[in-house]
Amino acid sequence: MRKIYTPSSAASDVLEVIQILEGRWKLLILFHLFDGKVQRYSDFEKLIPGISQKMLAQQLRKLEADGIVARKVYPQVPPKVEYRLTDWGQALCPALDALLSWAEQKDHFAPPAS
Amino acid sequence: MRKIYTPSSAASDVLEVIQILEGRWKLLILFHLFDGKVQRYSDFEKLIPGISQKMLAQQLRKLEADGIVARKVYPQVPPKVEYRLTDWGQALCPALDALLSWAEQKDHFAPPAS
DNA sequence: CGGGATCCACAAGGATACTG
DNA sequence: CAGTATCCTTGTGGATCCCG
């Protein structure tokens, strides 16, 4: 088994990852951003069933504050706001991809007990 | 940019990943398990500052229920319990590793504004 | 040693109403 | 359209006590 980190370096990194990605909605929002077709506030509302306006706005702003997501406001009426990943946010893609691959492998390791 | 998933397949996978890894402690526990030196309940208590007994036991049991962690009880007095990763749990290693690498790259993308 | 049970405080989150 | 403000319910997590 691979040793995943050196104790001296990664303690704070782990905490940072947890803080940044914590919550029921962050990953969902990010996955839609990676999908590339979703940039508008109302798109998220449609594609993430069950999320409230409050949570959506709040989590988007947290992601923005953490430097994962960039928010671009077009000064027009009606308002238009686009969300996109920052460079650092895009760098997260392989990790989230690995996470999804892992989830897909579940049945390989734990065959549905029949 | 890479397309990270096909909309048809991954919606439930995303939700599963979120459910399994959600919380302030799960990743911390897992990282210590990957480190390989921690298998005992009391080890986690020492190495994860601030975690309460309740949370530690609860999260360990959730990880166990989700098939990530295996719990082995030695029938002796005083009791001895060892935690280890299941095969599926070990398969999570690359993904968590990628997550850590990503965190480490932060300064590369967002140099500390001086 | 490795927890379970209980109580409690606070924070997270949902519903609704309103706005530039 | 893209939110904010408010209220209120629920969940999360800590502290404490207890047990095999």
Q: What is the pLDDT of residue B12?
A: 84
Domain boundaries, chain B: 21-92
pLDDT at residue number A38: 82
Q: What is the pLDDT of residues A10-33, one digit of tens each?
A: 678 899 999 999 999 999 999 999
User: What are the tens digits of pLDDT across the range B68-111?
Assistant: 999 999 999 999 999 999 999 999 999 999 999 999 999 998 66
Quickly count: other Cβ atoms within 10 Å of residue A17's Cβ. 21
Which pair of tokens denotes residue A82? 């686009």
Alpha helix (H) residue ranges in A3-92: 7-21, 26-35, 41-47, 53-65, 87-91
Provide the pLDDT for residue B103. Answer: 94
Which among B1, B28, B99 is the nearest to A95, CB-wise? B99
Residues of chain A numbered 11-70 and touching chain B (CB < 8 Å) = 13-18, 22-24, 27-28, 31, 34-36, 67
pLDDT of residue A110: 67
pLDDT > 70 fraction of chain A, expressed in percent and rounded = 87
* Cross-chain Cβ contact B18/A28 below 8 Å: yes
Interatomic separation, CA of residue B68 and C1' of nucleotide D8, rounded (Å): 37
Q: What's the CA–C1' distance between A87 and C19, in Å? A: 33
Q: How far apart are CA B86 and CA B83, in angstroms?
A: 9
pLDDT, one tens digit per residue, over A49-94 is 999 999 999 999 999 999 999 999 999 999 999 999 999 999 999 9
B80: its two tokens: 């001895």
The reported pLDDT for the residue numbered A42 is 97
Q: What is the pLDDT of residues B2-42, one digit of tens each?
A: 444 444 446 788 999 999 999 999 999 999 999 888 899 99
Report the protein residue whose CA lies nearest the C1' of nucleotide C5.
B54
Mean of the per-residue pLDDT values for chain A?
89
Q: Which fold has domain B21-92?
A: Arc Repressor Mutant, subunit A (1.10.10)
Say how far B49 CA is from C9 C1', in Å.
21
What secondary structure, in 3-state letters, does B14-48 show? HHHHHHHHCCCCHHHHHHHHHHCCCCEHHHHHHHC
The mean pLDDT of B38-64, rounded to a whole number, is: 95
Chain B interface, best mutation among A9, A16, A18, by max B CB count within 10 A: A18
